[in-house]
Amino acid sequence: MEITLIPKQRMILVRATGEIDHHSSEAIRRLTEKEIRRSGAVNVAFDFGRVSFMDSSGIGMLLGRYKTVKALGGSIIVYDVSQQVKRLIEMSGLMELIIVSDTLQKGINEMNRTKGVRI
Amino acid sequence: MKNTMLLKIPSKSENERFARTVCAAFLLEVDPTIEEMSEIKTAVSEAVTNAIIHGYNSGEGEVVITGELSDRTVTYTIKDSGCGIPDIEKAREPLYTGKPETERSGMGFSIMEAFMDELVVESEPGKGTTITMIKRLSENAE
Ligand SMILES: Nc1ncnc2c1ncn2[C@@H]1O[C@H](COP(=O)(O)OP(=O)(O)O)[C@@H](O)[C@H]1O
Ligand SMILES: [Mg+2]
């Protein structure tokens, strides 16, 4: 896992790797929350290109980050997701709350479009 | 093809991955589709995670997992001797979680139901929980 800052978008980019379950989602939660607070970012993008598996613990983790950034007026982007992960995101209704896109750029475009007036 | 498996693991979160990987690998000989493999991995992960975080409340205990393959029907059981489920019907409702203070999504049972053909939940408060999941694999292409 790797976190980088995209200051122009007030965004942190989280590159998750491997399998996201109850065991591994705890570290993602902790590090992502810490970086949001440290950097002052309000948006979080997750690169899921190297995620090979996710279960409902990942859904809970994404929902938790959604709540954090919503309170800050920000958005969650998840991009480059596998069919398996996409199916879970759809099943859980998370699709209504977060932006799921093919690439980071498409996600950012959608974020800036849906946001309208920026705060 | 007939086969059986038995796996007994301490209730540690590190074992979630091990358990679902073993349960999926149990089927390699009968050539399941990639989708079937990933559905089984996900459903087993949900049941094992529940045993660890709900059954044993993240404390010590043992989770016993069995697999039985008969032709192209696979049955898994995931058993804990933990706290049990007082209201099974309620627990199985989508989005219900008994731990709303944590980051649980309440989707575990819904996922098990969607990804497997049959799901039986047997539980007794104070004694533990046994989850039985059955899936019929599609016929081989060859
Ligand atoms: N093995 C178990 N032992 C005790 N309680 C359980 C067990 N499995 C599930 N439960 C109860 O059922 C609820 C719903 O489970 P689930 O759908 O997997 O959602 P989640 O795990 O996200 O809470 C749990 O929150 C818990 O209260
Ligand atoms: Mg669960």
Residues of chain B with pLDDT under 70: 141-142
Q: Are B81 and B10 in contact (CB under 8 A)?
A: no
Task: Please tell me the predicted confidence (pLDDT) of residue A86.
Answer: 96
Binding pocket residue ranges, ligand 1, CB within 6 Å: A 56; B 46, 50-51, 54-55, 80, 82-85, 91, 96-99, 104-106, 108-109, 129
Domain tally, chain A: 1
- Quote the tokens at residue A115: 């946001």
Are the Cβ atoms of A23 and B17 closer than 8 angstroms?
yes
Classified by CATH at the fold level, domain B2-136 comes out as Heat Shock Protein 90 (3.30.565)
Nearest-angstrom CA–CA distance, A101 and A109: 10
Task: Please tell me the predicted confidence (pLDDT) of residue A34.
Answer: 98
Task: Please tell me the predicted confidence (pLDDT) of residue B77.
Answer: 98
Quote the minimal CA–CA distance from A89 to chain B in Å. Answer: 11
Contacts A56 to B, Cβ<8 Å: 46, 49, 104-108, 111
Give bridge partners of residue A79 from the DSSP assignment. Answer: A47, A101
SS (H, E, C) B50-95: HHHHHHCCCCCCEEEEEEEEECCEEEEEEEECCCCCCCHHHHCCCC
Domain borders along chain B are 2-136
State the CATH number of the domain containing residue A10: 3.30.750.24
A2-6 and B62-70 strand pairing: unpaired
Closest to B32 in 3D by CA, of B111, B115, B107, B113: B115
A53-106 per-position pLDDT tens digit: 999 999 999 999 999 999 999 999 999 999 999 999 999 999 999 999 999 999
Confidence of residue A30 (pLDDT cuts 50, 70, 90): very high
Query: In chain B, whose CA is at the least distance from the CA of A67?
Result: B103
Give the Å distance between the CA of B98 and the centre of ligand 1.
6
Query: In chain B, whose CA is at the least distance from the CA of A52?
Result: B38
Task: Please tell me the predicted confidence (pLDDT) of residue B94.
Answer: 95
Task: Please tell me the predicted confidence (pLDDT) of residue A115.
Answer: 76
Report CA torsion sign: A23, A25, A29, A32.
positive
Nearest-angstrom CA–CA distance, A106 and A45: 11
Contacts B40 to A, Cβ<8 Å: none
Task: Please tell me the predicted confidence (pLDDT) of residue B142.
Answer: 55
Contacts B106 to A, Cβ<8 Å: 56
Q: Are B65 and B23 in contact (CB under 8 A)?
A: yes
Domain span including residue A18 = 2-115
Q: C-alpha distances in angstroms, A94 versus A88, A99, B64?
A: 9, 9, 32
**Residue spans of alpha helices (H) in A1-119:** 22-39, 56-71, 83-91, 104-115
Task: Please tell me the predicted confidence (pLDDT) of residue B38.
Answer: 96
Task: Please tell me the predicted confidence (pLDDT) of residue B1.
Answer: 86
Stated as kind and residue range, the H or E segment containing A47 is strand A43-54
* pLDDT over threshold 70, residue A116: no
- The residues, ordered by sequence, that sit 6+ positions from A61 with a Cβ below 8 Å of its Cβ are A20, A25, A28, A29, B103
Q: Are A76 and A46 in contact (CB under 8 A)?
A: yes
Ligand nearest to the CA of B109: 1
Give the Å distance between the CA of B47 and the centre of ligand 1.
9
- Quote the tokens at residue A96: 């209504």
Closest to A85 in 3D by CA, of B38, B25, B133, B104: B38
**CA-closest residue to ligand 1 atom 9:** B50
- Quote the tokens at residue B45: 């992960």
Enumerate the active-site residues of B: 46, 50, 104
A36-59 per-position pLDDT tens digit: 999 999 999 999 999 999 999 999
Residue A38, SS3 per DSSP: helix
Q: Are B49 and B122 in contact (CB under 8 A)?
A: no
Quote the minimal CA–CA distance from A92 to chain B in Å. Answer: 7
- The residues, ordered by sequence, that sit 6+ positions from B138 with a Cβ below 8 Å of its Cβ are B32, B33, B36, B72
Task: Please tell me the predicted confidence (pLDDT) of residue A119.
Answer: 47
Nearest-angstrom CA–CA distance, B55 and B2: 31
Task: Please tell me the predicted confidence (pLDDT) of residue A107.
Answer: 98
Q: Which of B44, B81, B92, B97, when mutated, tests ligand 1's pocket best, judged by the most ligand atoms within 8 Å of its CB?
A: B97
- The fraction of chain A above a pLDDT of 90, given in percent, is 95
- The model's pTM is 0.96
